[in-house]
Structure 1
Amino acid sequence: MMKRLFHRFQKSLRYKLMLLMVTIAIMPLILVTLFAANTTKQSLSLEVIRSNESRMDWAAKYLDEKFDQLQAVSYSLLLDNNLFPSGNGGSDNGVNSPDAADSYIQEKLRSLYIANNKNIVQISLYLKSKHRLFVVDKDAVSSTGQLNAPFGNWGDLDQSFESVNRVMHAAHNNFTLVRTMNRFENREVLGGISLDVRWNMMNSVLDMIHSEPNSQVMILDNQGNIMYNPYASSQQEALSSEVLKKAAANSDGPGHMELKQGLIFYQPAVSGQLRIVKFIPMNYLTKGASSTLSFSFFTAVIFIVLAILVAILTAYYTTKPIIRLTKSMKAVEFQNFDVSVSDIRSDEIGTLERRFNSMLQRIKELIQIEYKSKIEKRTAQLKAMQAQINPHFLQNALQAIGGIAISRNVPEIYEHVRAISDLFRYTIRMKSDLVTVADELEHVGNYLQIQKLRFQDMIRIHLDVDDECRSCQIPKFSLQPIVENCFVHGLEGKMAEWSITITAQKVLDEIEISIEDNGVGMEETRLEELRNRLNDESEDRELGESLGLGNVHSRIRLIFGEEYGLFIDSRAGAGTTVKVVIPAVPQHGEEEAV
């Protein structure tokens, strides 16, 4: 199937044009669609990164403000001289009895809890001076000697001079804020406060950066452990602990990471103790691009379909006249000449159609001319065959006369009759227009023998022919008309002895045959006129015109080329020389018999 389809595209101009136009139409649409989708995705990513980095910065500031509010609760206890009389170098304000002091502490913690119970779950106050832990929650205010705390034991801090300010994770979506009270002079631990706080007091901060659907916003400690994740869902992709630790390890400042799953933003807060982390899944980034891609895709599909239709229709109507012309040419190949093109167009294809019609008409005319020529040729051959009857009869009669001359012992008569007979036989011989130089010289010899019978001892013949010239080809009846002109125009009227010299020699790749007489010659003007007539007579000659120098010259040039032919030189009173120049073409094969 693919091979047939490929063969069809390879052989048909219409399918090639369709494929080319469809490709030209589709490729820009595909490239523009992909470019638009990629650009939209990049632009959306940049916008998301820029807007979220700004939100994360504001969220960190608001989160710090929330913790400052919690620190203010701690400071309200730590700066109370009744609770820590020696913390800032002050003196006791007069609460001396243990019962009065415990009552003051409990009342202080109760009022502080009531004022902040919306966010604070429990307040714990440790006093080193009493070595007791006071705790207030929604139920009551109590004190205990058990000093255990989420971070360890308060009693362990008595012997240290370390200042503690720590945020710790607690159960039930709570966290603990721990702070110690140290003496200003030597940093001795006097006590401490721990606040159990609800994480949801930070929701207003986290909601500010939870701007994308399916995004996750969480708070981590500086080891990468999740402390608060209010937007966790089973449908959301859980982030690996390695990724969270990597985000928490970037303590240099805020930033983001691009992962295959999406974008992760991180922002330090609360003096670097916490990390605000936001994760935006990749499907959110691709969703905006996918809408653009979908729109671009459907638009591209519509325009591609239109482009294909336009390309097919354009290619069809463009190639239709060409295919019609091709079918007409194929019909001409099978000799059907009645397929001329009608409804000719006015464009370049119309020019081809007009030229085809003109060519078809010319072919018809040439066929008719060739048909007539064949008929005329056959008629001429028939007449020539009929005309051969009389020369054959005359030749047979001459041979009979020659036989009588031999029987009566008159050899001179026999020789002259034989020459005339051979002359007729050479004339009527049915063979090609080319003969050998030897045959043509033999014919000239027969002609000269007849002329010697007429002029007796007035004429001398000199013949000098190279052997390598004898087998070369020459047009029939090329030399005899030249020799005849020697008698007609050169020798008659001359009272002295006549002389005709015939020489043939090979010069490089040419044969030069010279026929020279000692006749009256020609004046220069007459010679120039004769040369011009030779060139004029090289054109077509009408039937029935006698063979002459012009005819011989034209035949040689027609057969062998313009550089060959007759070349005449003459001087008045000194004679004329006619040189025949032909190429040295040896004859191949046997000649036809008479």
Structure 2
Amino acid sequence: MHMKSRSFYLSLKYKIFILFYVFIFAITLIFGYYSYWISKKEVINRVSESNIGVTRQINNNLEYLQKNISDLVTFMSIDPFIQNLLVSNETEDKLPSVTFESLNGSSQLIVNLIITTKNLDFISLYGNTDIPLYSVFSDGSSDPGSFSTIRNSDLYQQALALKGAPLWFKLPEKTNLFIQNNIAPKLGMAKIIRNINTGETIGFIVAGINETNLQNLYLKDLVKSEESVIIVDQAGTLMTGMGEDIYSKAAKNPPFQDVLKNEAEGYSILTIQGKQALVSYSANNNLGWKVLYSVPILSLTKDINSIKTVIIFIIIVCLLLSIPLMFLLSFYLTLPLKNLLSSMKRFQKGNFLERIEIRNRDEIGDLSRGYNSMVANIKQLIDDSYILQIKEKEAEFNALQAQINPHFLYNTLEMIYWEAESADQTHIAEMVISLSKLFRLSLNKGNNYTSLAKEKEFIENYLILQKMRFKDDLNYSIQIEDNILNYTVLKLILQPFVENAILHGFGKKRGKVTISILGMRKADHLYFKIEDDGIGIDPLTLQNILEDETENETENETNASQESGGYAIKNINKRLQLYFKDNYSLKFNSELGKGTLVEILIPFNDQIKKEN
């Protein structure tokens, strides 16, 4: 609040100075941030493309490894010696265990190939016996699992459902379904063995490779500090990984789960435990496995963080260099404004002829021209207000027709009223009381404005008097909406038109005339309509009613106009022009033999206000 009040009293020169500095700071900040953002985006795009390529290569290697293992196990399963052994008619108790030496030449070659290539670290062959017919470990693990336990497991049922296709899974360290004494976690593959002649299931084979061997073969040289590569299966289960353990950190992260479910390749920026990471991924088409390569965003943007330092340096240099330029600019901008302010002070002291010299064609020049125009308009308004006061006084004098003491006239009318009441002259009494109300409303305590309710009452009393004169020949209706009766209008704005309707409606011949008066609100204006079905007004007379008075008009003509129309319509038109300028409408439409229509439209937003 204190800073706000201090800035309120700063001169325009200092405000421009501060605004310019804020503008320079904002521009350089936006430009620097945009440059940093573009650079960061470009780095991320390039790294993501490179990392997607790495995940594709890992997938290709995995497909090659899986194919090799699957092919070797298949070759061993269809080896004639193994097939004959499994389809042997010997009973389960007498089915012999198989040693490496008892294998025939081709089977020994396959086992040697499996072990020596390090594609597998263990293999177990099961027939109908609880213990495997053949089992070998290359990493020191021992004690293969019993086939009866395996046969009751979900993994075995899954392998049966695949009908000879390989089933891949993860073997945890230590005791598991297939190895009782497991030295290291492994990736396992199992499949049933079918009789090549009948297609019947005759055996079961399971094999595996240590995770460390797999990592050393395909992942070790790819992962740097703080980076991570993980491999998940089709269900999203972690098979293996190397580097940062992002799987356990992000396993419950919905965006990470969306990445695991995405079957296409691509990249995504994820927030893992408060840190952003670029995760690139691609899928294995054969098994549905997915390789994810995670790199911290912070490590990618280290080199472009220098842009921040450059931005700060540019901001400081721009601010320092702009100081002299800013002083010249502020002086040039504020000098015409100072001249304008000096002229305003002279105008405040009463010099209404004050003007300033305009030398610029810019906004300040427009402001100076507007100031000169405003001074001229104010002087004109002062003159108009003076004229308006004179016109209103004349209207009041014309309405009274003489300078009559109101108290004297009220008392006289009251005396006539009681005399008429005493003489049982009810008709005369009604005329006197209507005339008294008419007189009171026309004076309106000297106010220039009156409410529409009082204007309506004035017209009603006037028409009551005229009705007494014309009797059944005159009919009238007054319909002014109730919701506008509390608005104020110029005093005696409608009565002259009603009087004109009677004057020109009857003319020199008597006949029946109906007058209707309507008042309503239309948008931001008040709308009035005075309509009669009298004899109408000829064009020449209508032109004389609407035209302004000229200097050539004689005093007798003016007085005659005023006498015939009360508040002369010319006078009303003048008052409307003085009060509302061009923001009003007065329309006459008359046709001989059909009648006359008068429409008035005046604003109520500025000049017309609700009466307190």
Q: What TM-score comes out, normalization by structure 2 length?
A: 0.43
Q: What TM-score comes out, normalization by structure 1 length?
A: 0.44
Structure whose CA Rg is larger: 1
